[in-house]
Structure 1
């Protein structure tokens, strides 16, 4: 006989899975009407809460879930280390979910929180990993949750971000200051919030400089090294090659630089290359990579601190923390070729 899931109880009661979890673990936090509906649904469906049943109503799991689209990415690796350091100091263990941007996997890790296997969740993807009736679901109907890097379009959710649009503007303005006007962009995956914000900044900086945005200079990548290789090969086949390339991640910039070396182009004498992130390999490249530095340690630390405050039931005055980025000028960018 198949085991009843918390989602089935939620459907029967007409509430969210998070509300079912809250009703069973902290009944004093829900209304009498809601509690009655949930308990009736539990009885009707035969649902058995996992993790030692009723004992969970007064105990915490000591775990937090971190949902990442790709844990092998150097940006995410730096954030994860900071999260774990902060969590361990507070007595929590980290359950890491590598979702590969698959929504079903995100929901699986969300279920771990709903069922009491974890006390809160850090989400680095642009979707709420719980069933929702509408995009603007109130925050008090969700378990402790903090969103970072890829922004969920919900203003009620606690967030730790950088200003991706402003970072892209700074990157392009640096290249403009060196005399470049044919500036290509190798963007990240389509429809991801970080890609859209950086693309907006790229276009805005060019427009403000009186330069028409040319779509042939915009190539779609996936934030990975291989897509940087492919994108640069496409750009080199253009009749009017760009004199500078702004890659929306350092991994793509590294791939682009490898392609340029393969075809005997000099960096930056022939083509300048700009990255975004400042992963540790950026300063080890030859030439070293000019980039926009994300404060990866601070992103992980502040995200975990905000989640801990929620799990303690503390009021968080500032639901959105915007951390500063930094333009790091190294050897891969130079004056436009004469």
Structure 2
């Protein structure tokens, strides 16, 4: 049976004679831009006629159930955006709104937001971080009656608090094992700050893969940075100055890999003929580099969806979901 085409905002815009941006503002109930009631009603009417599948949540904005996602900080290029996108989609499918709050690591502000949420029809709260991290939830545990789940972070002292995180250890193991399979025997690792859980787990996964292959974990091949291009550039230069330099480099983020690319170019080192290279995060820029960068695609889309569905289904089990990502092999690691 032929599947019916899904109605999009562009379809509604063409039929209603307005822009796609106007449709988005109406359907997302934005009041920041002044639109006439006639325009709003025309868009909603057309959407109803076309069978737009997200309308049930639009007709009762004041009583609409919502899930609040509080994120500590966020950059527009961050792959964690995928988690938010899928969380929003999952909320719509469950006739629930997803409301995003960026509290900038200000716990007092987050607690104030939560107190305001208790006065509304809030299904639950997702406390999120764009970087995998360990957190202390003591300030939040007793502050609300609303269900809480953690996304991309966990609290070792709160085993009953549900969490949804990527498996940085398994992902780094997977990347390193791939470089080994490509013939590398001396793999360097450029990583981030040592206090970060993401850094520790990625380093541990890298070391475990080397050990499994019977290779030593050479500390002289590990470089810590603060995740900046210039530090990755400097780290790569120092690796090239080693008496026995590496034949592959695993960068703990795609942004670190950019600095690595630049240093290798300046040093006259060709990727992948002279040096295999792999990144982490699978950001959009990884496909645009020359050669395209092998990277690990994090399961943020799945994790964001699962966190929302956990709250919508009113589950109460002490769920801890840890998902590995998908290796995207590209030219940077293929001789």
Q: TM-score scaled to structure 1, two decimals?
A: 0.69
Distance across 2 between alignment mates of 1:289 and 1:140 = 45
Partner of residue 299 from structure 1, selected from 294, 299, 303: 303
Match of 1:126 in 2: 134
**Aligned pairs for 1:117-196 within 5 A:** 119=122, 120-124=125-129, 125-128=133-136, 131=139, 143-153=146-156, 154-196=158-200
Match of 1:262 in 2: 266
- Report the more deviating stretch, 272-281 or 71-80: 71-80
- Report the more deviating stretch, 208-217 or 254-263: 254-263
- Measure how far apart 1:319 and its partner are: 0.7
Alpha-carbon spacing, 1:283–1:320, altered in 2? closer, same or farther (3 Å): same
- Measure how far apart 1:292 and its partner are: 1.5
- Measure how far apart 1:244 and its partner are: 0.6
Summarize deviations over 1:161-216 as a string: whole Å, max 9, x none.
Answer: 22221111111111111221211111122222222111111111111222111111
Alpha-carbon spacing, 1:65–1:295, altered in 2? closer, same or farther (3 Å): closer
Root-mean-square deviation (CA), in Å? Answer: 2.8
* Cα pair 1:71 1:98 within 8 Å, conserved: no
* Cα pair 1:61 1:116 within 8 Å, conserved: no
Alpha-carbon spacing, 1:77–1:297, altered in 2? closer, same or farther (3 Å): same
Distance across 2 between alignment mates of 1:254 and 1:142 = 45
* Cα pair 1:87 1:94 within 8 Å, conserved: no
- Measure how far apart 1:88 and its partner are: 4.7
Match of 2:114 in 1: 113
- Measure how far apart 1:279 and its partner are: 1.5
Summarize deviations over 1:34-92 as a string: whole Å, max 9, x none.
Answer: xxxxxxxxxxxxxxxxxxxxxxxxx8884513214433342122222223333455332
Q: TM-score scaled to structure 2, two decimals?
A: 0.69
Distance across 2 between alignment mates of 1:224 and 1:96 = 26
* Cα pair 2:152 2:164 within 8 Å, conserved: yes
Distance across 2 between alignment mates of 1:305 and 1:183 = 40
* Cα pair 2:190 2:224 within 8 Å, conserved: yes
Distance across 2 between alignment mates of 1:249 and 1:327 = 13
- Report the more deviating stretch, 214-223 or 70-79: 70-79
* Cα pair 1:150 1:192 within 8 Å, conserved: no
State the number of aligned residues: 264
Distance across 1 between alignment mates of 2:103 and 2:334 = 38
Q: Partner of 1:150: helix, strand, or coil?
A: strand
* Cα pair 1:122 1:304 within 8 Å, conserved: no
- Report the more deviating stretch, 90-99 or 182-191: 90-99
Match of 2:215 in 1: 211
- Measure how far apart 1:109 and its partner are: 1.5
Alpha-carbon spacing, 1:232–1:143, altered in 2? closer, same or farther (3 Å): farther
Q: Partner of 2:79: helix, strand, or coil?
A: helix
